[in-house]
Amino acid sequence: MVTLQKVGNGKYDILFVDVYKEIISAIGDGGNVTLLRRGKTDATFVHSYPGKIVELYTFWVDTEGQPKYDLVQSKGGDSMQIHKSAIMVGTCGTINFKLID
């Protein structure tokens, strides 16, 4: 489960559920969330923990009008025990692109 949350003017956070079923804030956990690009029906954010993790979250509406998101993830670096890369695609609830700067 993933939620994009606007936390201020041009500032965002990504909330996700971890393996223990706890809600984690990307910012509260030491990460950075930045809007990379925005179209009329899509927006991409980068979430990073410097030296460890880079994630690209894209929220978009497909040609049938269904809201979706995809996640491209790369974890590694000297402070990580294993290297992991993943690509995930899922459906999501309503996306209000007007709330994104």
Per-domain boundaries in the chain: 31-99
What is the pTM for the complete model shown?
0.89
Confidence of residue 88 (pLDDT cuts 50, 70, 90): very high
Average pLDDT over residues 66-91: 91
Tell me the per-residue pLDDT of 26-77, one tens digit each, with 9 for 90 and over.
Answer: 999 999 999 999 999 999 999 998 888 999 999 999 999 999 999 999 998 8
pLDDT at 101 over 80: no
pLDDT at 86: 95
User: For the chain, what is the HEC assignment?
Assistant: CEEEEEEECCEEEEEEECCCCCEEECCCCCCEEEEEEECCCEEEEEEEECCCEEEEEEEEECCCCCEEEEEEEEECCCCCCCCEEEEEEEECCCCCHHHCC
Side chain identity, residue 67: P
